[in-house]
Structures are given as C-alpha cells and as structure tokens.
Structure 1
Amino acid sequence: MSETNRFQIANLGKPNYKSPLQLSTVRGDHIFNFVKESDKLVFDLSLDSYASCLSNGEEPQCLEKAGPRQDIFFKPEDTTAAIVTCGGLCPGINNVIRGVVMALHYFYGIKRIIGIPYGYEGLNPEMGHELIELTPDKVKDIHQFGGTFLGSSRGGQDVSTMVDTLESNHVNMLFAIGGDGTLKGVDAIGEEIKKRSADISVVGIPKTIDNDIDLIDESFGFETAFDVASPIIRDAHNEAAGAFNGISIVKLMGRDSGFIAASAALAMPVVNFVLIPEMDFQLEGELGFLGVLKKRLQQKKHAVIVVAEGAGQQLFEDQNRVQDASGNIKHADIGIFLKDKIKEYFTETPVTIKYIDPSYIVRSAPANSSDSVYCSRLAYHAVHGAMAGKTQFVSCKVNNKFVYIPIKEVTKKRKKIDLESEFWFSVLQSTGQPFLLK
C-alpha cells in the first residue's frame, strides 16, 4: 500500500509471538482463517472513486480488516489489560466490557485485567478511586443491565498523570469505551506513550448514543436507543389522538446530530414532524413550523412532534453557551421552548399539549439483541488488534465490514444527517412534513 494511506494503523513493533488461537491459514478446511496484514478493504466503494484511481494511477484509500493475527506483539502470560468507560451512558457498554474481558481471558489467556473506575478520573490517583480487578466471573452477568459496571465521568485528566498510572500498574493495553471526547483523550494518551517509547497499546471502542462518530457505519447503543424510543412515541401518539387538537412533543437525545429522532420516527411512523440540529427552521410565518402545525391540526386534529435536544438552538436569543466537562456546548431546552411557543401561538384555538422527555430512560436501557451482537463483535476485534500490537485505532464497522481506523480520522468532525440524503428523504416521506420549515 501507498505510504500516503490515511488509514494506516500505528504499530508498537514487530509481533514476535505466535497467537494461541488455533485458527487456520488454509481456505476450505472449515476453520476460520487468521487475518493477514495484506487483507485490506477499499474505503470509497463508488464508481467515481474507482474511475478516478484508475485514471490517475493511484491506489485507493484502504482500511485494515479487523480480526485475529497469526503473529502477536504481546506475550499473553506477561500482559496486563485495562478498561475504562467515559462520557454519558449508552446501551451496550456492559456488553463491551464483558466481551473484552472474556476475549482477553479465554482467547489469549490473559489473567490480569484492570477496570478503571469512573472514567479518566480513575487514572488520576488524587481522585481516590481504587482500581478494580476484572475476572470472567465478575462480568459474566453485567450485559443484562444498562449503564456501566465501571462507572463513568466527563472531562479529561492530566495526560502525563494518566500514563504514569498505566505504567505504575504495568498496563500493556488500554481499552477506552466512549465517544468523541473519550477517543480524543485516549489518542492523547497514545501520543504521550509514544514520547516515552513505552509498549502500551491504546484502543478506542466508539460509543455514542447520538451515532455522530464520523466515517463509521454506526456506533453501538444507537439501535437500542431508537428501539426503546419507539413505544414511547407510540404512546405519545395515543395521547395526541385522544384529544381534540392534541399535540404530543417527544424530546430525544441528539446534541449535534439528529439520528435518534429521525430513526425513531421511521421505526414508529406515527410522527408528523421531526426537528433536528441539522435543520435551520423558523417558527413564524406561513411556511414556518407553527403555521404548518396549524394546518396539520385543521386537517387531522392531532400532531406528534419529535425533536432532538440540539435542534432549534438558533431560535434562542442568548447564544452565549456554557460548556460541560467534556467540552460540549450545553444547549438550551428546545422541548420546553417549543411547548411554550405552541401554547402562545394557539391562544385562540384550544389545544392539548403533552410534553415527554425520556432521554435518561433511553440511554440507561440494556442493549437489545442486535446491539448485543454488535457489542460483542466490536470487543473481540478490539482485543485482536491490541494483541497484534496495533495502537491508537478504533474497532468499528465501515461499509458493513469490521475494520480498524486511526482514532484521528474519526475525530476530525462529527457525523451529521445530510438533508439531501435518501435517509432524510425517507423521514420526510414518513412524516409528510415539508422539505423546509421556513
């Protein structure tokens, strides 16, 4: 491959040990084969990209295929692993923790696995959190519950201090489960490790309920999120339809991207309006949201509105936003704002408004079956990559294939809904709302 491949994964060094996995290198023997370093997958599958590479004599940008390698970097009996979970809660975190522990212990025979409590705080001794010894017996049932067995926190700690803690505990690999901020944090840890020429692999497993990690197909927990939201929307519809000019507003998570709101509306097609951060909509005017809502009530006598938490922030007069510990802008409450504006608008028309905010119920739910499968596979691939000595990468799925991508590539920007995409068009077809609300 060309040295200019943006998806080249960093490696700690030459892998000098043979994998304990009894896998094959021969096709046709009905045993799974080790993945070779030469196994690559083309990133951009479009015909235009293919034609461009042909005409310019360039190699396409390729991704490393995830999976177990025949040669590994770490000697299993001398290896210590650590797991940390950071940021907001999300369905499936415990599934990933369990998957990593089981893979390390049973696949590779690693006996010492440390749980870092309460996010990156656990890597700062001054915070007073004691490290947790993780064993298969301790984690065997945690997948049945939502939240995180290890606890979480927002915000970073001093990078040098965190690496000191890893080194003092003889940690050889760190698995960080989290979103954009967590991944940037573990990448910074990887950079400090590189400066010290230490042999510690750092791996990210992308977790964000908003599904806003760039490049990857989907972050774990996202599918459970709109699965859990669907019956809530169904019940909101029952409330709205049960009253003359009934209006139900359901606020779902989605700080900068509206994937949960949009997907939940498609999954439970009783929604009439979906408002997301990617939209620049207005309230006033005949073509504004309130005017279109009025027409809906005149025709159908009820309406269901699903709004993402980050939608409509341009409507607030005070644009001086404070940040949370993770550096995210704290948004004003669009749900309450909409409820009040709708009430003000319909002073001469009787309306019944029900406002529902199930955000913390949704994010605290245990993973559904589909997400459970996904979490286990992400965990296994993360372990295989770390054992091979790969570092500063995420285990993820792209173009429906499990691959490794450098952390820096997925944290350059947030993934957002393309308002000209077929996906968003499907949402508009389901709701019947106009392309523009302004």
Structure 2
Amino acid sequence: MNANCLIVQSGGPTAVINNSVVGLIDEMIFSGFKGKIYGSVGGIKGLIQENFFELNKLNIHERNGLRWTPGAALGTCRYRLSESETIKIVEMLKRYHIHYFFYIGGNGSMKVAHMIYEVANKMGYYLSVIGIPKSIDNDLLETDHSPGYGSAAKFLATSVLDMKMDVASYPHSNKVTIIETMGRHTGWLAAACSLAIHEDDDSQTLIYIPESPFYIDDCIKKITEASKDNLSTFLIVAEGIKDENEQYINRENMEYDVLNRPKLGGISSFLEKTINLRTGIQARSIVPSVWQRSSVLLSSKIDVKEAYIIGKEAWKYAEKEYSGIMIGMDREYNDEGDYQIFFSPRQLLKVAGKEKFVPKEWYDSQKNRMSKEFIHYVKPLIQGEMIIPMRNGLPNYQRVI
C-alpha cells in the first residue's frame, strides 16, 4: 500500500502561506508520488476530527489560483494540544497510512510538530515530520526570516508612506497619527515601518517595539516639541510594548485567549486618549489588524517565491528520509552584492516554542528609530510586485474548503 501525506496549516494566516502548500504538492507530483495528499481542514482541529480534503483533486489551474490567494486555504485555528490527543493523532495517522506529515506555522506550531514527532518515535511508527515556517511576526529561530513577513512588512511600510503623503497635504499640521502593528513580544513588523522614513520628511516618525521599554513621558515630550515646530508625528507602536517594569502599557481589563495569552490590541487607542488629554494635540489611531497579513495586492514577489520554494524543499528533505526538522533559510550575497537564499534542515527542538527578537543593536532607543543594519536586512524581503488576476474589478481568489 502506498504511503500517504498530510499537510496542516496552523496559527495566523499570511498573504503567501498557500504558496507553501502549492510548492509542496507540485514537487510531490513532479517526483511521482503515488499516495494520497491530504489537507487537514481547519488546522489541528481538523486533524483531531479526521476532517480531511484530498489535495490530489486540485488541478494545476486551481493550484496556481492559490498562489495569489491570501488566508489559509485549508483553514486554521489556535489550539492547545494535549499529550493524550497527540497519541490519538499518531494512531489516526497509522490508520490512514500517513508517513509524511507537514506542518506549516510559527513557533507554537513547530512545538506541536515536535510533539507529534516524539510520540511517533516512542510508538515505533515511522513518520517524516517536517515543519515549514510561516510568520508575519518573523519571530522564528533557526531561519534568516519567515515567509509571510516580507509581504506584511511591505504592506505596513507602504501604508505609512501613503498616510505621510496624505498628512503632507496639510502644511504646518501638528497632528499625531498612531499606527498599531501586530507583534506580541517582538517588533519586527513595527520596525519595518522605518522603510517609510526619508531624510526630507516634513514630519517625525517614532517607532516603539517590545524589545525596548516604552516611556510615555519621553514620547509625549517629543510629540510636544514637534508640535511647537508645526511638525506632525507618526507613532508606530507594536501591540505588545511594555514599560520599564515589563508591564503592558494598556494592561487594564486585559483578557486572555485559549492559549492563556493576553489578548493584545488597543495600545493605539490608549495612546490617542492619553495624548489628547495630556497635550491637547489632536491624535488619531489606526489599526491595520488582519489587513497587514492578508493584503496580497501589496505582497512581496520575493516573499511569494520563497514561500513556494520552501514547500518544494520540504518534500525533497522528506524524500531523503529527514524527520523532526524545520526547513530554515540562510542568507548570502554573491560577488555582485545580490541577495540570495539557501535552504537547510534545522532541528524542530531548537525552534519549538522559542522566539527570535529584534537585535538590540538594530534599535536606537534614544531616537526611537531602526539602524542601517536593520534596513539592510529587511529591504531585500519586500522586493517585487505581484500581478493579481482580476474579475469584475476585484481579485479572483481560489477557495479549497
């Protein structure tokens, strides 16, 4: 009997996550894989409930359509997996003769993948478990960056640039615009907005990331000084910024999700009220929310390409009988200084449940700006534009479930 394969998408979607699924399927078909390629409908819950979709049924046109479709085409969820459920999952995989298991997700997902890998080993069941990274937060260890980040970075930087052009339409404006980005513990997304800062800006831009304490008095002082010079201010704040005591800035009435993590968001509206109250300067808050991870029209072509290739690489390592690994990306520059990425296996254990933070030396906590080193790091990740097929003036997306 042929060995079968199962693909799971997990955690928050990105604009390019479906490219990894398509790259994986394309490479399996190209290699002559004879088994069934299952997709778990609804992430880990679909896995527990044995709710599968046969991805072999997708023709080449449908697969290509997924390459410009945002969101998790197979469905996703956030769920805390127990050890007993992990055992049941491996027993179910045995019934379906699934020997190839691919998990697309962030650091929490890599932890789940590692749990399944360990249980399968203990049960003596051969299962090639391979993690495929994705994260707009860019907080996965053992990889230069995560697929999904480049597109979210491009969207946010473009959005800030657009807003700056709008504010510049009103000479001598001293208003404050607060943009709240995602980023629970890391500031990679907020940092990307530094791409929209130029020397000839007629406004000041202040970036605040969770890796550095947020001082409200210093922030208000800088806003007030800019206002006196008839300069507007852009505050870029990651949702997870904290004060010098490691306390969330907007910690009052905080709720928690199914993983017992604080439900963040709302820091921009908190700052808006505080600035208005303490300075009298007009402030407004803008929350891109899920838009920053779902805008395929502003996706990065290099991000799309890398997400697709990493799916192909995952199958190549599975064919070589690798297991308990995540596909990592390594950056190099050729003799002409051109950016290049190479792929290599990393142990899931080194990635599972861990976070990669913005290096402290890449952030100027006095000027609240990113360094030239960060700009050099992020610029290659936002290059290129996607041409999205349209129908009746709107993007022509492809659905699976």
TM-score where L is the length of structure 1: 0.73
- In 2: Cα distance, 1:215 partner to 1:385 partner: 17
User: Which of 175, 195, 199 does residue 126 from structure 2 map onto?
Assistant: 199
User: Which of 85, 98, 105 does residue 178 from structure 1 map onto?
Assistant: 105
- In 2: Cα distance, 1:319 partner to 1:413 partner: 27
Q: Is 2:221 the partner of 1:291?
A: yes
Q: Is 2:341 the partner of 1:414?
A: no
**Equivalent position amino acid for 2:272 in 1:** K
Equivalent position SS for 2:227: helix
TM-score where L is the length of structure 2: 0.80
Q: Deviations over 1:41-63 (max 9, x none)?
A: xxxxxxxxxxxxxxxxxxxxxxx
The correspondence of residues 27-106 of structure 1 with structure 2, limited to 5 A, is 78-106=2-30
The question of whether the paired residues in 1 share the 8 Å contact of 2:206 and 2:369 is answered with no
Which residue matches 2:391?
Answer: none
Which residue matches 1:258?
Answer: 187
Equivalent position SS for 1:78: coil
The correspondence of residues 245-394 of structure 1 with structure 2, limited to 5 A, is 245-269=174-198, 272-284=205-217, 288-312=218-242, 314=247, 316=249, 318=251, 322-331=255-264, 333-347=266-280, 351-366=281-296, 367-394=299-326
**Equivalent position amino acid for 2:40 in 1:** I
Shift of 1:417: 1.1
Q: Is 2:67 the partner of 1:146?
A: no
Q: Deviations over 1:348-370 (max 9, x none)?
A: xxx33232111211111234311
User: Which of 80, 95, 119 does residue 43 from structure 2 map onto?
Assistant: 119
User: Residues 119 and 327 (structure 1 numbering): CA distance in 2 closer, same or farther, change over 3 Å?
Assistant: farther
User: Residues 259 and 104 (structure 1 numbering): CA distance in 2 closer, same or farther, change over 3 Å?
Assistant: same
The correspondence of residues 227-246 of structure 1 with structure 2, limited to 5 A, is 227-243=154-170, 244-246=173-175
Q: Deviations over 1:20-52 (max 9, x none)?
A: xxxxxxxxxxxxxxxxxxxxxxxxxxxxxxxxx
- In 1: Cα distance, 2:128 partner to 2:213 partner: 42
Shift of 1:423: 9.0
Which residue matches 1:403?
Answer: 344
User: Residues 246 and 225 (structure 1 numbering): CA distance in 2 closer, same or farther, change over 3 Å?
Assistant: same
Shift of 1:239: 4.1
- In 2: Cα distance, 1:383 partner to 1:188 partner: 20
Shift of 1:377: 1.6
Which residue matches 1:35?
Answer: none
Farther off after superposition, 215-224 or 139-148: 139-148
- In 1: Cα distance, 2:265 partner to 2:295 partner: 25
The question of whether the paired residues in 1 share the 8 Å contact of 2:214 and 2:241 is answered with no
Q: 5+ unaligned residues in a row in structure 1: which ranges?
A: 1-76, 431-438
User: Residues 354 and 237 (structure 1 numbering): CA distance in 2 closer, same or farther, change over 3 Å?
Assistant: farther
Q: Deviations over 1:164-208 (max 9, x none)?
A: 221121111111000111110011011110011111111101111
The question of whether the paired residues in 1 share the 8 Å contact of 2:114 and 2:352 is answered with no
Shift of 1:427: 3.6
Q: Deviations over 1:111-148 (max 9, x none)?
A: 410000111001112xxx63100025142311111001
Q: Is 2:135 the partner of 1:208?
A: yes
The correspondence of residues 125-144 of structure 1 with structure 2, limited to 5 A, is 125=49, 130-135=51-56, 136-137=58-59, 138-144=62-68
- In 2: Cα distance, 1:295 partner to 1:426 partner: 15
Equivalent position SS for 1:370: helix
Shift of 1:90: 1.2
The question of whether the paired residues in 1 share the 8 Å contact of 2:206 and 2:236 is answered with yes
Q: 5+ unaligned residues in a row in structure 2: which ranges?
A: 333-341, 373-401
Percent identity for Structure 1 against Structure 2:
25
- In 2: Cα distance, 1:248 partner to 1:379 partner: 39
The question of whether the paired residues in 2 share the 8 Å contact of 1:265 and 1:306 is answered with no
Which residue matches 1:110?
Answer: 34
**Equivalent position amino acid for 1:307 in 2:** V
User: Residues 372 and 119 (structure 1 numbering): CA distance in 2 closer, same or farther, change over 3 Å?
Assistant: same
Shift of 1:412: 5.7
Shift of 1:346: 1.4
The question of whether the paired residues in 2 share the 8 Å contact of 1:171 and 1:200 is answered with yes
User: Over alpha carbons, which structure has the higher Rg?
Assistant: 1
Equivalent position SS for 2:39: strand
User: Residues 257 and 191 (structure 1 numbering): CA distance in 2 closer, same or farther, change over 3 Å?
Assistant: same
Equivalent position SS for 1:395: strand
User: Residues 223 and 426 (structure 1 numbering): CA distance in 2 closer, same or farther, change over 3 Å?
Assistant: farther
Q: Deviations over 1:283-312 (max 9, x none)?
A: 12xxx1111111122224211111111113
Equivalent pairs, count: 345
The alignment's C-alpha RMSD in Å is: 2.4
**Equivalent position amino acid for 1:256 in 2:** H
- In 2: Cα distance, 1:237 partner to 1:221 partner: 25
- In 1: Cα distance, 2:163 partner to 2:131 partner: 37
Q: Deviations over 1:206-253 (max 9, x none)?
A: 111100012310000100001111221123223443453121111111
User: Residues 315 and 153 (structure 1 numbering): CA distance in 2 closer, same or farther, change over 3 Å?
Assistant: closer
- In 1: Cα distance, 2:256 partner to 2:34 partner: 40
**Equivalent position amino acid for 1:360 in 2:** V
User: Residues 312 and 240 (structure 1 numbering): CA distance in 2 closer, same or farther, change over 3 Å?
Assistant: farther
Which residue matches 1:221?
Answer: 148
Equivalent position SS for 1:166: helix
Q: Is 2:86 the partner of 1:159?
A: yes
